Amino acid sequence: MMTNVLAGYDLDRVDGRLAAVREAAGLLSSIRDGSLVAGYLRELASMIGMDIEDVRRELKNVSRSTRVVATTAGNPPTKPQDDGLPWPDPDDRALEVERGTLKLMLQFPTLFDTAWNGVIATDFRHPGYRQVFSTLSAISYGSGWLAAVNQAAQSDIERQLMVSLTVEPLWREPDENYALAYTTRLQLVRVAGEISELKSKLQRTNPITAEAEYRTMFEQLLTLEKHRKELQLLSLGEEL
C-alpha cells in the first residue's frame, strides 16, 4: 500500500518526504485497527527514511491541523454517518472479479486508461463495490490521488472498504494486460445480461406487426454479440 501512496514524491528532498507523510496521514487516519496503524507507521518510516517518532509526530500535526481548520470553518469534525451500505463478503466467488478489479484500480491506477478501460458503475453488482468505483472514478488521477479518493468516501463503511481493498494482496505482480483481463471479464457479465434481456424482448415482439421495432432490436443484438466476442478475446490468456 505505502509504495502506491509514496509514488510521485521525491524522497531525496526534505519537503518531498514531509509531503509524502502528510498524504499518508489521510489514509492512516481512517484505519480503526491500532495494530494495523502501528505496522503501517513502521513501514512508512522505513520507506521514507525517517525516524518513526518523527513520522508519528508529523501525522499527529496533520490530524490536529485538519481538526482546527474544520472547526474554524464552522464545521466541527463529526464521525461520518454510515448510509446502510452493505459490506461485501471478500470470499464471495461470484464477486471475485469485482473485488479484484477494484484492488487493481486502487493499488495500481496507472495500469488503466483514463476511462478505466471502459468500466462503468453498473458493471459492479454489489452496492459497496459500485459505490467505491463511483467515488474513485470521479477523482482525476494525479499526485495525492489515493488520499483524495479516501477523503471523498461517503461513509465510514465505504472508507473502510477502500482501506481493505488497498491493503489486500494481489495474486501476482500486475501489468496492463492483467488489468485489462479483469476489466473485460467484469464487462462481459454486464454485456451477457444485456444480450439475454434483448433476446427476451425479441421473443415477445411480433416481427410482422412491429417490424421496425423488431429490426432495431435485432441490430442492437448483433452489435452486443460483436462486443461480447471482442471482450472475450481481450480477456483470454490471463489467469486471474
Q: What is the pLDDT of residues 51-99, one digit of tens each?
A: 888 878 877 776 665 544 444 444 543 433 445 789 999 989 989 999 9
User: Would you kindly state where each structural domain of the chain is located, as residue ranges?
Assistant: 2-72, 81-240
With a pLDDT cut of 90, the percent of the chain lying above it is: 48
What are 164's three cell numbers? 481493505
CB atoms within 10 A of CB 58: 17
Question: Which range among 10-24, 67-81, 133-147 has the greatest average pLDDT?
Answer: 133-147
Fold of 2-72: Pheromone ER-1 (1.20.50)
What are 58's three cell numbers? 508529523
What are 71's three cell numbers? 472547526
Tell me the three-class secondary structure of 109-176, residue by residue.
Answer: HHHCCCCHHHCCHHHCCCHHHHHHHHHHHCCCCCCCHHHHHHHCCCCHHHHHHHHHHHHCCCCCCCCH
Report the alpha-carbon distance of residue 12 to residue 1 in Å, rounded.
Answer: 20
Instruction: Tell me the whole-structure pTM to 2 decimals.
Output: 0.63
pLDDT value, residue 26: 66
CB atoms within 10 A of CB 102: 27
User: Does position 12 have pLDDT exceeding 50, yes or no?
Assistant: yes
Q: What is the pLDDT of residues 187-236, one digit of tens each?
A: 998 888 889 889 998 998 999 999 999 999 999 999 999 988 988 887 77
Nearest to 184 by CA among 126, 102, 101: 101
- Answer yes or no: are the C-beta atoms of 177 and 148 closer than 8 Å: no
pLDDT value, residue 108: 96
